[in-house]
């Protein structure tokens, strides 16, 4: 999956932790058009991001998003980045935070919304809030716990979810981030075993060892007479039987 597909998503949830550097990927996702970029920084001071975006003049960095000044922020086509949702909820509370994010998603002037979310800062009681954020996002990028350049990508399109694992790399020629999909090796399947008759029907065909032993132990009524050696065969010809008194083998030279 290329970054081009991610850049086209309107709502991106970027999940990380304290050990990950998301800045290169964040800048790559935000670098898509010449629209205004409104950056709401709840964690870093405004001067920090102004130094990061020195080569871009269409970026405005705010300390936080004031709900009563919403119309001032979103008065033209723009991209919005919130860093981070965790700190935003401390300032506004979860309910007001979700209400504000929903308003940004529905606003026609917001061409892209990028939400930075720290997984390691989430309290166990707030796990449901994370699922709700993932539900609102059209793309979810989660950094791997152990590998710093490995990400999991989830994109929702037309009611379907497409998941993949990618490796991030920096291209020095173009000075951009690239995503390389991780192709898992396919194990060669051995020759399939021949199916047993018992697996080809909905009823039981094969007899297990226990049933065989019970079968051998079963004694039928006539078996006692056979074992005594008193059994005889009596034959009485019927009137309609064609009984031939002649020797049937008289033509043989015995």
d(CA 33, CA 84): 23
What's the CATH number for 3-181?
Answer: 3.40.50.300
Could you tell me if 6 and 12 are in contact, meaning their C-beta atoms sit under 8 angstroms apart?
Answer: yes
Contacts of 132 (CB under 8 A, 6+ apart): 98
Taken in order 25, 26, 29, 31, the sign of the CA dihedral is negative
d(CA 247, CA 101): 110
Task: Provide the whole-model pTM.
Answer: 0.69
Could you tell me if 141 and 152 are in contact, meaning their C-beta atoms sit under 8 angstroms apart?
Answer: yes
pLDDT in tens, 187-230: 556 666 777 666 666 666 666 777 777 877 777 766 665 555 56
159 φ, ψ (degrees, to nearest 5): 80, 0
So what's the pLDDT on residue 107?
A: 95
Could you tell me if 39 and 59 are in contact, meaning their C-beta atoms sit under 8 angstroms apart?
Answer: yes
CA distances 37 to 33, 81, 126, 151, 250, Å, are 10, 8, 29, 25, 118
Q: How many CA atoms lie within 13 A of 175 on its CB side?
A: 2
What is the chain's pLDDT, residue by residue, as a tens digit (254 residues)? Answer: 567 788 889 999 999 887 778 888 888 888 766 789 999 999 889 998 888 887 777 899 999 999 999 999 999 999 999 998 999 999 999 999 999 999 999 999 999 999 999 988 877 777 888 899 999 999 999 998 888 888 999 998 877 888 889 988 877 777 778 888 888 776 556 666 777 666 666 666 666 777 777 877 777 766 665 555 565 666 676 766 666 666 666 666 65
So what's the pLDDT on residue 225?
A: 59
Give the rounded distance of the alpha carbon of 218 from its chain centre.
Answer: 55
């Amino acid at each position: 999956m290329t970054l081009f597909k991610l850049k086209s998503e309107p709502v991106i949830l970027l999940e990380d932790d304290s050990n990950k550097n998301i800045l290169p990927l964040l800048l790559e996702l935000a670098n898509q058009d010449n629209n205004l970029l409104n950056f709401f920084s709840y964690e870093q001071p405004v001067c920090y991001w102004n130094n990061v975006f020195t080569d871009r003049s269409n970026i405005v960095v705010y300390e936080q998003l004031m709900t009563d000044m919403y119309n001032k922020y979103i008065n033209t086509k723009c991209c919005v980045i919130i860093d981070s949702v965790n700190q935003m909820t401390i300032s506004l509370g979860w309910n007001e935070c979700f209400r504000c994010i929903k308003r940004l998603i529905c606003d026609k002037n917001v061409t892209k919304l990028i939400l930075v979310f720290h997984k390691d800062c989430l309290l166990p009681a707030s796990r449901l809030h994370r699922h709700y954020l993932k539900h609102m996002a059209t793309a979810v990028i989660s950094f791997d716990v152990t590998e710093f350049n490995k990400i999991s990508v989830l994109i929702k399109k037309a009611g379907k979810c497409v998941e993949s694992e990618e490796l991030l790399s920096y291209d020095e020629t173009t000075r951009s981030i690239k995503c390389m999909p991780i192709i898992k090796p396919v194990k060669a399947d051995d020759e399939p075993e021949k199916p047993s008759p018992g697996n080809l029907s909905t009823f039981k065909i094969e007899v297990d060892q226990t049933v065989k032993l019970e079968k051998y132990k079963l004694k039928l009524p006539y078996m006692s007479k056979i074992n005594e050696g008193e059994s005889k065969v009596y034959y009485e010809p019927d009137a309609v039987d064609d009984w031939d008194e002649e020797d049937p083998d008289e033509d043989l030279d015995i």
